[in-house]
Structure 1
Amino acid sequence: MAFGQPKVQYKSMDQMRTMRQAGLVLATALDTAVGAAVPGARTADLNSVFAEVLSDANATSNFLGYYGFPATICVSVNEEVVHGIPGERVLQDGDILSIDGGCILDGWHADSARTVIVGEADPADVRLSEVTEAAMWRGIAALATGSHVGDVGSAIDDYVHSVDGPALGILEDYVGHGIGTEMHQAPDVLNYRTNHRGPKIRPGLCLAIEPMLVRGAIDTAVLSDDWTVVTTDGSRASQWEHSVAVHDAGIWVLTAHDGGASRLGELGVTPVPLG
């Protein structure tokens, strides 16, 4: 590790198994929040059902109180990219929203996000979400086949720019990260191609891979609540995220119920359970 570089925390198999349990709790909590995202629901309602799942599993939120954040999830609607605060906003037919949440179980963290379209969807929003999700899976696949963390961003970037149709922008100010005994750890996981290769991919590495795409320009601003990030041109946004573990036999998606088997199989990658 070069002088001044943040140290990467590598996990044992037992530690990654605990992270998997946190990931399963989180996946169920997100299922519940996604199911609650219907026209007429308040964004606070999504927060409530998510928090109830965590409580029932004896898990705690890693979002609530994080630098003063007042909720257990982020709900970011339409032009809101990330870090939206749940509240009294009522979801409308055609809204696109990202639900980003996390939890802690026995001291180990999980982090994941999904995009949801409420009611009747604009085809352009469907495309935005589908491309963002597919880009995430290509980044995860690169974690299985690549040599350095930078390969993740290259795979995401290459895919987004290969898709037919109107160009989508990849946010550069908000990136993925390492995860373990803290929610945000080294290394940063960029969502775009650069000359920086990053640390080597090796067993014990756990990353949260989370591309954020927009239908317009990538310029953003933070609202007066000091949290909610919006596109300055009002274009709509999508975020998808999974936490992923690298171990001796391969990778396993900690926050996917099937460990990533269905989506990674389409890309020629077979995830391997932690045992």
Structure 2
Amino acid sequence: MAAEVEARKCIGADCGNNAGTLQCPTCLKQGIDSFFCSQDCFKRNWGSHKTVHKAKSNILTNLFPPKVVSEPDPATGHYNPFPTFPFTGSLRPVYPLSPRRAVPESVRLPDYAHDGIPRSEQKFVGRHNITILNKKEQEGMRKVCRLAREVLDIAARAIKPGVTTDYIDEVVHKACMERDSYPSPLNYMHFPKSVCTSINETICHGIPDQRPLEDGDIINIDVTLYHGGFHGDINETYYVGEKALSNPDAVRVVETARECLDKSIEIVKPGMLFREPGNVIEKHAKSRNCSVVKSYCGHGINQLFHCAPNIPHYAKNKAVGAAKPGMCFTIEPMINIGTHRDKTWPDDWTSTTADGSLSAQFEHTLLVTEDGVEVLTARLPDSPGGPVPMPSTDVKETENGAA
């Protein structure tokens, strides 16, 4: 007697429905099976699903590296690896990247450290059940998140004009090693560095390189540590030099992103629907005449770097599910001065605003408690950065939150 064929399930991270015939077109081109139950589910899960494409494309890139068609600067040896790419703003990659930084054998590694493939996460793709951490596991998350905060603060103190993002990567890597921790981004889906550094029009996933920071830049530093079997994820955006603080657009986008995160955390408690933070975030962003990036979302985090639930940051999203005590997830709104649309560089990681306008982001790892929320990556009394006054003449807020 033949066994019944199990119904094919939708691979949406927040969906438990049976899949239809809808497939991701990029996966089809790459020979990957990926079926969704609906177009809406496909769109809702795009931010997390497209990491599957990165893994495949990065493997091909490693096997067949592209030719460098721009001449290195004779004085520095630096070059732009994508000279024909239509960049949306003034930022350019400055290669060569430094060699991959070593990790001692004593440091506990996540499963993707050697080959770049997070197999433990892939086992949970398409599952809608969300991990509830017990008391011991919650303590593990508290510890790694405290360490992540320490490392981010160390990196932030290194920010000044003339410092390269590669140097910040070195600072982060060294601080992780001193804490017997693995820098979670390193070789995750083949990401080449230990931290993400996103400057000016870069929304997220900027790769540290040889470009020196300039007076007037804004920079997001996104740190994640793996320690004791758990990941802790945090990022903040900082002003570089005095010129950035005197730029009303820079201050508006940075402080709006900071406020959006703070306001969304205020509503986190048992029973909060995962679609609700997006409503809070977009309402406030619009009141500051800013837009919200839709391509990336907050995510579950625990023993896995990325898992269910997805937490979209835009209004009227259709995320499924509600918060329960013991859940850990991030909220990490990406806020733009101009359009919400994004464009990815040929490195398959660096995501920039489609119009070259400024972008800022803030992120915390959160633990849902019995009666509210615990911010596991909360700022310390001596944490660098912090809010500055919002320019008073930029945007007039209205009572209904529309600019």
Verify same fold: TM over 0.5.
yes
For 1:160 and 1:132, locate their aligned partners in 2 and report how far apart those are by CA, in whole Å.
8
CA contact (8 A) 1:132 1:238 kept: yes
Q: Matches of 2:260 and 2:168 in 1, distance apart?
A: 26
Which letter does structure 1 place at the counterpart of 2:291?
A: G
Cα deviation, 1:82-112, whole Å, max 9, x if unaligned, reads 1110010100000011111101111111111
Structure 1 residue ranges (4+ consecutive) displaced by more than 6 angstroms after TM superposition? none
Q: 2:230 aligns with which of 103, 108, 113?
A: 108
Q: Residue 275 of structure 2 aligns to which amino acid in structure 1?
A: G
* Cα shift readout 1:199-226 (whole Å, capped 9, x = no counterpart): 1211011111000011111221111111
CA contact (8 A) 1:143 1:149 kept: no
Call closer, same or farther: CA 1:105–1:254 in 2, change over 3 Å.
same
* 1:127 equivalenced with 2:252 (yes/no): yes
SS of match in other structure, 1:177: strand
Structure 1: unaligned runs, 5 residues or longer:
264-275
Asked which structure has the greater CA Rg, the reply is 2
Residue in 2 that maps onto 1:266: none
C-alpha change, 1:142 and 1:230, in structure 2 (3 Å) is same
Distance in 2 between the 1:127 and 1:146 partners?
A: 32
Q: Does 1:96 align with 2:221?
A: no
TM-score of the aligned structures, taking structure 2 as reference length: 0.61
Give 2:291's match in structure 1, choosing from 156, 165, 169.
169
Q: Deviation per CA, 1:104-125, whole angstroms, max 9, x where unpaired?
A: 1111111111101100211210
* Separation of aligned partners in 2, 1:145 and 1:108: 22
Letter in 1 for 2:274: V
> What is the CA–CA distance in structure 2 between the aligned matches of 1:83 and 1:2, rounded to whole Å?
29
Q: Deviations over 1:143-173 (max 9, x none)?
A: 137621212112212222233xxx1110000
| Distance (Å, rounded) in 2 between the aligned partners of 1:195 and 1:173 | 12
For residues 124-146 of structure 1, what are the alpha-carbon distances to aligned partners after superposition, in whole Å with 9 as ceiling and x for unaligned? 10111111011001111111376
Q: Decide which of 223, 231, 234 is 2:353's aligned counterpart.
A: 231
What is the CA RMSD across the aligned residues, in angstroms? 1.8
Q: CA deviation at 1:257?
A: 4.1
For the pair 1:192 / 2:317, whether they are aligned, the reply is: no
Q: Which residue of 266, 270, 279 maps to 1:141?
A: 266
Counterpart for residue 343 of structure 2 = 221
Name 1:152's counterpart in structure 2: 277
For these two proteins, the number of residue pairs brought into alignment is 257
> Whose RCO is larger (CA < 8 A, sep 6+)?
1
Q: Counterparts in 2 of 1:1-275, with a 5 A limit?
A: 2-3=16-17, 5-120=127-242, 121=244, 122-144=247-269, 147-163=272-288, 167-194=289-316, 196=318, 198-257=320-379
Distance 2:353 2:317 in 1: 27
Per the TM alignment, residue 248 of structure 1 is displaced from its structure 2 partner at its CA by: 2.0
In the aligned structure 1, how far is the partner of 2:294 from the partner of 2:249?
A: 22
Contact 1:74 1:86 in 2 (8 A): yes
In structure 2, the gaps of 5 or more residues are 1-14, 18-125, 387-403
Equivalent residue letter for 1:235: S
Deviation at 1:5, TM superposition (A): 4.7
Contact 1:77 1:95 survives alignment (8 Å):
yes
Q: TM-score, normalised by structure 1?
A: 0.89
Percent of paired sites with the same residue:
32
**Aligned 8 A contact 1:24 1:257 in 2:** no
Q: Tell me which moved more, 88-97 or 193-202.
A: 193-202
- Secondary structure of residue in 2 paired with 1:143: coil
